[in-house]
Amino acid sequence: MNCKCPECYFEFVIEDEVMIGEIIECPDCAIQLEVVEKNNGGIVFEVAQLEEEDWGE
């Protein structure tokens, strides 16, 4: 499936079996993208939120 990075607009191909919630890395800018929607029009990404460490607070 053809996709476009929302950050750098690089077009790349990912597998059709990608699942919602899966993290994909842009092959051009290396930003991590989370699959938030999958429909006939393609795949919708959001920039994945970085997990912050829990220092027991």
Taken as a whole, the chain contains a residue count of: 57
Biggest distance spanned by C-alpha atoms of the chain: 43
Domains of the chain: 2-47 (2.20.28)
Q: In the 8-state DSSP scheme, what is residue 49?
A: P
pLDDT of residue 57: 58
Q: What is the pLDDT of residue 49?
A: 80
Q: Can you give the pLDDT at residue 38?
A: 87
pTM of the model as a whole: 0.75
* Residue 18 exposed, middle or buried by CB count within 10 Å (0-12, 13-18, 19+): middle
* pLDDT tens, per residue, the chain with 57 residues: 888 998 999 999 988 889 999 999 999 999 999 999 988 778 888 998 876 666 665
Report the pLDDT value the prediction gives residue 53, as an integer from 0 to 100.
60
Tokens 């912050």 correspond to: 52
